[in-house]
Amino acid sequence: MEQKNFSEEEARILQEIILHRRDVRGNRFLPTPVGDEILEKILLAGLNGPSVGFSQPWEFVIIRDTAVKQKVRESFDVENEKACGLFDSEKSAKYQQIKLEGIEEAPLNLAVFYKPSSGVVLGQTSMKEVGLYSVVCAIQNMWLMARALNVGIGWVSILDPEKIKQILDAPAENQLVAYLCMGHVSEFLDRPELEILQWEKKKLLSQVVIHEKYQTKK
């Protein structure tokens, strides 16, 4: 295969896609089904994600069934109630006002699992967790491809992973990495919603880049 070089314009478009990726809440999903061709492009983006030792340790469960979504939503409600009490009074009040999921509103849900290898994986001998990180890379690929196709994705992490495994009859060795809500949306916000709501401030590059090594404080 001939080496592919990209133009400055293509790099600019990728940057735009990255900057405009959003975590979509349930109140923005439309009932319009996600077409099979679009879904396949998104899944192929995940399939072509980088993975440690070329292990490709991911499995994707496509969920459209209303009854299954309802069971997952019930798990969310239980965990969401627990989470609310963990914040101080000011943030707790704000937390209750935020729509944090779109499990039932999104026409399609996607559960992403890490499936451990039965043998030794090149590059995973010292850091076992890089298998999980590989799955996260696949998820990011799908998220960016979805945004390029003007499809919204919302990552729901306020769930009991073992409960979700039971609902989906997942193999015992599989580990839930992400539960994604997917669909066409009414709008993509110009900034992340939690930034708009001032839940946290956006970090600057200068705050997170360290040169050579950490400086020991004396």
Q: Nearest CA to 54 among 171, 138, 142, 126?
A: 138
Report, as an integer, the average pLDDT of 84-88. 82
The answer to whether position 214 is within a domain reads no
Contact 150, 114 (CB under 8 A): no
What whole-number distance in Å separates Cα of residue 170 and Cα of residue 147?
28
For residue range 5-14, list pLDDT tens digits in order.
Answer: 999 999 999 9
Residue type at 109 in one-letter notation: N
For residue range 121-135, list pLDDT tens digits in order.
Answer: 999 999 999 999 999
The answer to whether position 119 is within a domain reads yes
- pLDDT confidence of 218, banded at 50, 70, 90? low
The answer to whether position 9 is within a domain reads no
The answer to whether position 15 is within a domain reads no
The answer to whether position 207 is within a domain reads no
Residue 86 CA, distance from chain mean position: 23
CATH at residue 75: 3.40.109.10
The answer to whether position 192 is within a domain reads yes
pTM more than 0.85? yes
pLDDT of residue 209: 95
Contact 145, 152 (CB under 8 A): no
The answer to whether position 17 is within a domain reads no
Number of domains making up the chain: 1
Host domain of residue 171: 28-198
The answer to whether position 8 is within a domain reads no
Provide CB contacts within 8 A for 115, sequence distance 6+.
57, 58, 59, 171, 173, 174
